[in-house]
């Protein structure tokens, strides 16, 4: 059956929430497993692993040590003058008669992995990500029943790496009352990772999940760093037709997702699934979420090819 037939007309998808919890779930055919939590049941799907980039062992990356402008008062002109005088990185700058004291402060921030102070000094999140080993980084992408935070999250997709392969796990609510279980499992999983990577997650995913966790009384995980790749893409938006994740991935990797549902149809399609219990309505959403996560991981792999380089995305777009 084609995707368009599965979707049906937009008008037929609109259902009130009061009509959507009346039918029990049908026999499972999604290829996952049900898990019971203190907050209720949830459904979990693990995708086959796929190969990733093996990152360099140096942490933080050399690029961060070379960022003389992290020293308060050092701008582009002063940085060029200092480099001409032989001050190639922050450790060398510690011996400068004028800038040495401030350089030593920044070196202390780096040695202590003081992410908040380094951000205040001007370090980008893409540079700060080089502090973290692959097993310390998780990616997240969510699907919701609408943009208002009073509406439920029904998929929290996460991805992680062992330094060689990427793994994807999706926590899924097959009906609205499974949202608590989904959030419980997602929160427990993400709490093990000090760094989070997302695409527009600082503005949407993390605050949305946070609001829903608060609603259910579930602890909210905290992160030493949340790197939102979308913020980097926005600065290069002229290079892309639009800033959608699929568009950026297609431009950089010259790849095609194949058949995929538009994100704007996800809530309506889910409402219809909850009412009709037809898994062929839910599967396209699960696949869409997995494709987003895979594209996000591939972008993160590109970042790892240019560890700590604040110009990594520009180089990827230009093929450099």
Question: Tens digit of pLDDT for each residue in 52-94?
Answer: 876 656 677 788 999 999 999 999 999 999 999 999 999 999 9
Q: How many residues does the chain have?
A: 320
Q: Which domains does the chain have, with CATH numbers?
A: 3-56+131-318 (3.30.420.10), 68-122 (no CATH)
Q: Position of tokens 């180089």?
A: 315
Residue 53 is predicted with a pLDDT of: 73
Residue 257 is predicted with a pLDDT of: 79
Q: Position of tokens 């010259």?
A: 254
Question: Is the CA virtual torsion 320, 313, 53, 294 positive or negative?
Answer: negative
> Which tokens in the block code for residue 103?
């350089």
Residue 55 is predicted with a pLDDT of: 64
Of residues 312 and 280, more confidence is placed in 280
> Which tokens in the block code for residue 89?
């990185």
Which range (36-50, 155-169, 191-205, 234-248) has the least confidence?
234-248
What does the DSSP assignment read for 3-52?
HHHHH--HHHH---GGGSSSSPP----SS-EEEEETTEEEEEEEPPPEE-
Q: How many angstroms separate the Cα of 94 from the Cα of each of 74, 115, 233?
A: 13, 20, 34
Question: Tens digit of pLDDT for each residue in 94-150?
Answer: 999 999 999 999 999 999 999 999 999 999 998 899 899 889 999 999 999 998 998
pTM for this model (two decimals): 0.86
Say what percent of the chain tops pLDDT 90.
63
User: Where do runs of H (alpha helix) occur along 161-319?
Assistant: 179-190, 206-216, 229-234, 245-253, 266-276, 279-305, 312-318
Element (H, E) at 137: strand 137-144
Residue 20 is predicted with a pLDDT of: 38
Say what percent of the chain tops pLDDT 70.
89
């Amino acid at each position: 059956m084609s995707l368009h037939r599965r979707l049906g007309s937009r008008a037929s998808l609109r259902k009130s929430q009061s009509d959507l919890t009346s039918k029990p779930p049908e026999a499972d055919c999604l290829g996952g497993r049900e898990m019971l939590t203190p907050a209720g049941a949830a459904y979990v799907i693990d995708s086959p692993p796929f190969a990733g980039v093996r990152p360099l062992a140096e942490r933080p990356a050399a690029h961060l040590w070379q960022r003389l402008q992290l020293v308060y008062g050092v701008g582009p002109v002063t940085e060029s003058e200092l480099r001409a005088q032989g001050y190639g990185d922050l450790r060398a700058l510690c011996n400068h008669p004028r800038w040495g004291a401030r350089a030593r402060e920044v070196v202390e921030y780096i040695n202590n992995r003081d992410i908040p102070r380094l951000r205040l000094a001007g370090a980008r999140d893409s540079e700060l990500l080089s502090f973290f080993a692959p097993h310390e980084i998780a990616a997240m992408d969510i699907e919701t029943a609408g943009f208002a935070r009073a509406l439920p999250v029904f998929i929290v997709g996460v991805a992680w790496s062992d330094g060689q392969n990427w793994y994807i796990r999706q926590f899924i609510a097959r009906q609205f009352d499974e949202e608590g279980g989904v959030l419980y499992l997602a929160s427990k999983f993400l709490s093990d990772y000090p760094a989070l990577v997302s695409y527009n997650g600082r503005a949407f995913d993390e605050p949305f999940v946070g609001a829903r966790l608060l609603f259910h009384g579930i602890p909210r995980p905290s992160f030493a760093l949340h790197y939102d790749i979308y913020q980097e893409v926005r600065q290069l938006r002229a290079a892309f037709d639009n800033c959608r994740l699929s568009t950026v991935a297609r431009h950089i990797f010259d790849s095609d997702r194949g058949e995929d549902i538009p994100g704007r149809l996800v809530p309506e399609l889910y409402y219809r699934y909850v009412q009709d219990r037809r898994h062929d309505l839910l599967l396209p959403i699960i696949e869409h979420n997995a494709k987003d996560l895979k594209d996000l991981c591939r972008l993160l792999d590109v970042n790892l090819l240019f560890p700590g380089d604040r110009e990594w995305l520009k180089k990827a777009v230009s093929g450099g």
